[in-house]
Amino acid sequence: SSAVAAGRAQVQQEPWAETTEGTAISINCSHPNIGLGETIYWYRQLPGRGPEFLERVLRGSREMRAPPGRLQVAADGRSSALWLSRPRRGDAAVYYCALGD
């Protein structure tokens, strides 16, 4: 699995995930050493383009409009999941999670 280090904090993601058009998918991120007050940020990078900010959340859940879905952060803050409810071919991208203040 891949890992990105920022200070003492670290996030880990699955190397890849696959679904078919219109079939919901959950993209998971682990951040067991999250600091107090740190926020989870999600981005995606479409082929040939720069990173695009999707959503952020400190705790709990937040709905997303584009792509349609939900960002859910576990109550203890140690993991999160980006759930895409109706992915399309145009949503095929590299999805990143990150920690920040």
CATH code where residue 45 lies: 2.60.40.10
pTM for the full predicted model: 0.83
Q: State which amino acid sits at residue 12.
A: Q
Helix (H) or strand (E) holding 62: strand 60-64
Residue 88 inside a domain? The answer is yes
The residues, ordered by sequence, that sit 6+ positions from 34 with a Cβ below 8 Å of its Cβ are 9, 40, 77, 78, 99
Residue 70 has pLDDT above 70, yes or no: yes
Percent of the chain with pLDDT over 70: 91
- The confidence score (pLDDT) of residue 10 equals 83
Residue 4 inside a domain? The answer is no
Mean of pLDDT values over 20-36: 91
Q: Determine phi and psi for 40, rounding to 5 degrees.
A: -95, 125
Residue 2 inside a domain? The answer is no
Q: Which domain holds residue 41?
A: 12-100
Residue 99 has pLDDT above 60, yes or no: yes
Residue 6 has pLDDT above 50, yes or no: no
Mean of pLDDT values over 14-43: 90
Residue 30 inside a domain? The answer is yes
Q: How many domains does the chain have?
A: 1
Residue 6 inside a domain? The answer is no
